[in-house]
Structure 1
Amino acid sequence: MTQQTSAPPPATLADLIHRLDHARSTGEREMGTETGTVPLGHYTDRHHWQQEQDMLFAQWPIVAAHSSEVPAGSALPFDALGVPMVVTRSGDGRVRTFFNVCRHRGMALVQAEGPEPAKAKSCKTLVCPYHGWTYGLDGHLRHRLHAETFDGIDPATLHLVELPCAEAGGLIFVKRTPGPAFSAAGFLRGLEEHLQWLGLADMKVFRKIDRVYAANWKLTVDAFLEGYHIRVLHRDTIYPFFADAYTVNLDAGPHQDSLVARRRAFEAFETPRDRDALCKLATPTQFLFPNTFLIWHPDYVSLIGMFSPAAGEVRWMHTMLIPPDRTGDDWIPHWEKTFRLIEETVFQKEDIATAVAIQRGLHSGANAGLQAGRLEHGVLRFHRGIDAAIGGTLVPAGEG
């Protein structure tokens, strides 16, 4: 990938690189301090799932899109949080989010077309297809057909219902529940600097997948929070490129930022000065609590949202982001092949298929919980974060 900056990495990322160098040079893997068990009900219990919906997905900022997905003068429908929403960007560049619901009779204003993942539509206004009520991209009601017939109804009370929305590091965050504004940079707890250095905002969308699978959403999150499984599950696909369970991790509030060592780091390690060099030595992986991953492959990025439509289902939204200088037609065969390898083979046939198989096994009665060793400390930390958020002792940073 083409590096956008020659600046040194942020101090916290530089420390991760130093720790990776220490681990590979000493042969000492970084581990957690304890083992633990995740209760079975965290994956199967309907009441626990409802608590997650109420305290996580309704209250926390969630990544809705990469910034490039919503250009100026466009609107993107988004419904992965269980309610119809629309993300807009007006001509001044400001991004906003509203309930995708007309204030007249409740009709959706912007709809996805066909089975493919929704894309932003170029528009100057949002026009209801039912009666033609028209709203600006700022949510203000601009026109009502036969307005004179709505006696005594103040049009100022009929603007779209706005939802908290903010942007940082190339990502658009939304909240499902109306309320005060929040800072996306504050929410990221210092990881925005990492994303800026890596050049996330400059990336462009190549392909997007939006599918539902029969597994609890946390099973797919669990898989991406540990490198312990790579040697076995991915033996014939990506393991030939990776060292065995050498991962260093930074905790940034409830978020996690990791470097997963590639074999090349053990062959010739030079302190990387740019993104390209870093991605040859390791795979940077940011987990943005509660449900989003950024995985930096050698020449592209996977942005993955893991949503929860039901206790036994995960809605998997994978967006492949590519460098801006590699978007021409001559690059399409390369990206098509690359996308098939990562999405259809590694993710679908290995990671997701494993999650589906585990979900089936959860109902067998064989286990009261799922075990996690010291190489899987990120999994335990994630589940403790969920428990704390449900209990009200963990709240998102950047509020107010």
Structure 2
Amino acid sequence: MINPNTAAPIPATLADMVHRLDQARLTQSREEGEQSGTVPVSHYTDPQHWQQEQAALFGQWPIVAAHSSEIPIGSALPFDALGVPIVLTRAADGRVRAFLNVCRHRGMALIAGSDPGAEPAKAKACKALVCPYHAWTYELDGRLRHRLHAETFDGIDPATLNLVELPCDEASGLVVVKCSPGAAFSAEAFLQGLGAHMDWMGLPRMTVFRKVDRVYQANWKLTVDAFLEGYHIRVLHRDTIYPFFADAYTVNLHAGPHQDSLVARRAAFEAFEPPQGRDALCKLATPTQLVFPNTFLIWHPDYVSLIGMFSPAPDQVRWVHTMLIPPDRTGDDWTPHWEKTFQLIEQTVFQQEDIATAVAIQRGLSSGANTHFHLGRLEHEVLRFHHNIDEALGGRLGHGGPEG
């Protein structure tokens, strides 16, 4: 199969998923897990467990911070969803870098971010980062360029006052960063093969149409759980998207702790033709990728939702949803279409159904009605996700060093 958007053969692993979906259709049999299982309710409520997640997951793992198109050459983008002030830059050499968004003089933020619920921050075109307190100036590669009245700083070597750089890399249209200084890593290796799927589907060439950044009263894993199974679509989404989907027909590919899924649409059961490209594939199924631990890519028929689910508190999720569209479908003629589409998916499906459900569950957790959640074989990917969190918290799940 050839994708006309990339003129490249479909990755063998993705072709195998398409074949498995076809077999599920032909045999009328759903792929299931080997057994059911449970998840402790305390994993959604216990402050100590949350602190462990902050330290071992959000504090150490590479986290998707932005789509590549959000940071053009000669720009800087603030990113603070990890609770640490970070600024992403792209200097003239084209490389994306990440720094603590902190002036080395008196600690002022170099570029202002935005609070959840406000208009999300956008990249600022700039030749350098200039502190608004005393105008200390840094190159986009982090080097200190200028200090006002530099002659008054006796005995201080300016070479020691460059910005504090964070490990950061870019692959398949995703900018990935760690929130504390350390060894470099390979984003391509971190994706463990999923990058080939994203490249084939054209993710690096997508561009941002709209972005929202909000906080809701639900543990972050409740929103992740919802995107890891198709079991709920028939009921929760019965009046919105279920008319377009088959009932819980999903095939999954595991790439380390990450996951790629094809969620069958009804069209696949009406006329199944091996897809020759992304658009044809998205008519048969909705590809959904989890970049562990907290990022989803959801490939709708003509656009992509890039969703980061961050964790500012045990009972809160910071929901950052970026709508990515094909570059040939931009401009004033397309704007009404994308506005309507974004409102439907964000305000109706996500906010009023998925997120509202997570908030309702969170309210019920303190009642003591449940000590564990019970998950069936159609929810096996939820169980796998929580198992991988346990492995990561225990130091048994690696996320890559200098070589990924």
Which of residues 120, 125, 129 in structure 2 aligns to 1:126?
Answer: 129
In the TM superposition, what is the alpha-carbon distance from 1:4 to its structure 2 partner? 1.5
Partner of residue 11, structure 1: 12
Q: Summarize the alignment of residues 18-57 of structure 1 with structure 2, pairs less than 5 Å apart.
A: 18-57=19-58
Q: Find the residue that maps to 1:329 and give its secondary structure.
A: coil
- Residue 233 of structure 1 and its aligned partner are, at CA, apart by 0.1
* 1:96-122 residue CA offsets vs partner (Å, 9 max, x unmatched): 000000000000000036821010000
User: What is the alpha-carbon distance in structure 1 between the residues aligned to residue 401 and residue 250 of structure 2?
Assistant: 28
- Separation in structure 2 between the aligned mates of residue 3 and residue 99 of structure 1, nearest angstrom: 40
AA partner of residue 110 (structure 1): I
The AA in structure 1 aligned to 2:282 is C
Letter in 2 for 1:78: F
Q: Is the 8 A contact 1:76 1:118 kept in 2?
A: yes
Provide the residue aligned with 2:192 in structure 1. 189
Residue 167 of structure 1: aligned partner: 170
Q: Who is 1:69 aligned against?
A: 70
SS at the partner of 1:330? Answer: coil
Structure 1's consecutive aligned runs of 4 or more residues displaced over 4 angstroms after TM superposition are none
Percent sequence identity is 76
* Change over 3 Å in CA distance of 1:368–1:112 after alignment to 2: same
Give the corresponding residue for 2:360: 357
State the Cα distance separating 1:399 from its structure 2 match: 3.9
Q: Give the Cα–Cα distance (whole angstroms) in 2 for the partners of residues 396 and 330 of structure 1.
A: 43
The one-letter code matched in structure 2 to 1:68 is: S
How many residues of Structure 1 are paired with residues of Structure 2 in the alignment?
A: 399
Is structure 2 residue 151 aligned with structure 1 residue 137?
Answer: no
Listed one character per residue, the Cα deviations across residues 329-375 of structure 1 (whole Å, up to 9, x for unaligned) are 01011001000100000000000000000000111110001111100
1:217-366 aligned within 5 A: 217-366=220-369
Q: Deviations 1:191-225 (Å, cap 9, x if unpaired)? A: 11000000001111000000000000000000000
The alpha carbon displacement at 1:398 in A equals 5.4
**Residues 370 and 399 of structure 1, relative CA distance in 2, 3 Å threshold:** farther
> Unpaired segments of 5 or more residues in structure 1?
none
In the alignment, structure 2 segments of 5+ residues that lack a partner are none
Give 3-state SS (helix, strand or coil) of 2:320's partner.
strand
SS in 2 for 1:314: strand
Which letter does structure 2 place at the counterpart of 1:279?
A: C
Q: Tell me if structure 1 keeps the 8 A contact 2:183–2:401.
A: no
Deviation at 1:7, TM superposition (A): 2.3
8 Å Cα contact 1:186-1:398 kept in structure 2:
no
Task: Work out the CA distance in 1 between the residues paired with 2:225 and 2:127.
Answer: 42
Matched with 2:155 is 152
How far has the Cα of 1:6 moved from its partner? 3.1
Q: State the distance in 2 between where 1:392 and 1:238 align.
A: 39
Aligned mates of 2:194, 2:301 — CA distance in 1:
20
Q: Residues 113 and 224 (structure 1 numbering): CA distance in 2 closer, same or farther, change over 3 Å?
A: closer
2:252 and 2:259 in contact (8 A); partners too: yes
**2:101 is matched by which residue type in structure 1?**
N
CA distance in 1 between partners of 2:67 and 2:345 (Å): 19
Normalised TM-score (structure 1): 0.99
Q: Could you tell me the TM-score, scaled by structure 2's length?
A: 0.98
Please list the CA deviations of residues 255-309 of structure 1 after superposition, one character each: whole Å capped at 9, or x if unmatched: 0000000000000001111001100000000000000000000000000000000
Pick from 386, 389, 396 the counterpart of residue 386 of structure 1. Answer: 389
Residue 176 in structure 1 maps to residue 174 in structure 2: no
